[in-house]
Structure 1
Amino acid sequence: MLSSPYSLNSVLTPGDLRRVHHIALNVQNMQASRHFYGNILGLHELTGDEVPETLKDLVVQGKVANFITPDGTILDLFWEPELLPPDPNPERTFTRAYHLAFDIDPPSFDRAVEVLRQNQIAIAHGPVTRPTGRGVYFYDPDGFMIEIRCDPI
């Protein structure tokens, strides 16, 4: 039996965490990132009263943009103009997060790949077909890997 450094009285149990509330990404070019997530990927950008009260000042200053995914998860983009990955080659992972994956209806997968191509988004891997479904991997304007995937038909 493996020992744990954590007390059994101080751990969360299944069901304590309800859902992912938000994902925050640092971005170097806010305009390019807003275009990428809003226009190319089609996520809804929160504006006006939709913006959480705690972020309104930062949004007005152009330092934060908020998008909502179809399942209700918020994607926060934080403007960091001096952001540089440790290596300019995006093939080398530079954060502890590997990628952000969006699910799509299987009949729409090929259209999503075509949208990427039409917008000259370089595809890093794929499209690939696996027992778990199909996926295509590409980078956002800051070199963070994004996946669009679907379940098998």
Structure 2
Amino acid sequence: MRLNKIHHIAIICSNYQESKEFYVNILNLKVIKETYREERDSYKLDLAIGEHSQIELFSFPNSPKRPSYPEARGLRHLAFEVDDIEEAVKDLEKQGIAVEDVRIDEITEKRFTFFKDPDELPLELYERKGNN
């Protein structure tokens, strides 16, 4: 078996309209397709991240909360690569999004920071420029 790339990441949100606003209008992800499934009372929103990856944003009635902080088993966080981390941080802060201080990854020596989506899911900005 050979895996080519990550195709999509699926996220279940608690408030569909709020999360749609965040991912589309704050993170500027392009809507590929929006589907309402009446039998499930659920939305599925396919969003493009660049040319090769997607987020599937789902809503389900009464979905349980995340059990704990990022150190719980399972997906720890979702990282987005950016060209200029300072510019990306300013863009988020202009939209009222709290962003942690920018840090340096001690292994790769690249700059990164964290912020949260409307459901407090940890999201990371990871700067592309610099060493590899």
TM-score, L = length of structure 1: 0.71
Unmatched segments (≥5 aa) in structure 2 = none
Of the three residues 96, 105, 128, the one matched with 2:103 is 128
Amino acid at match of 2:53: T
Number of aligned residue pairs: 124
Residue 37 in structure 1 maps to residue 23 in structure 2: yes
CA offsets per residue over residues 26-80 of structure 1, 9 Å max, x none?
1111111111111111110113xxx6xxxx4539x76111101114212101102
Q: 1:77 to 1:127 in 2, by over 3 A?
A: same
* Percent sequence identity over aligned pairs: 27
* Conserved? CA contact 2:42–2:61, under 8 Å: no
Q: Matched residues in 1 for 2:123 and 2:45: separation? A: 18
Q: Matched residues in 2 for 1:35 and 1:57: separation? A: 16
Shift of 1:95: 5.7
Which has more radius of gyration? Answer: 1
Q: 1:97 to 1:63 in 2, by over 3 A?
A: same
Q: 1:37 to 1:57 in 2, by over 3 A?
A: closer
TM-score, L = length of structure 2: 0.80
Shift of 1:85: 2.5
RMSD: 2.2
Q: Matched residues in 2 for 1:57 and 1:129: separation? A: 41
Residue 63 in structure 1 maps to residue 38 in structure 2: no
Higher helix residue share: 1
Q: Matched residues in 1 for 2:13 and 2:73: separation? A: 13
* Conserved? CA contact 2:42–2:60, under 8 Å: no
* Conserved? CA contact 1:132–1:152, under 8 Å: no
Q: Give runs of ≥4 in structure 1 deviating > 3 Å.
A: 56-59
Q: Matched residues in 1 for 2:32 and 2:129: separation? A: 32
Higher strand residue share: 2
Q: 1:66 to 1:57 in 2, by over 3 A?
A: same
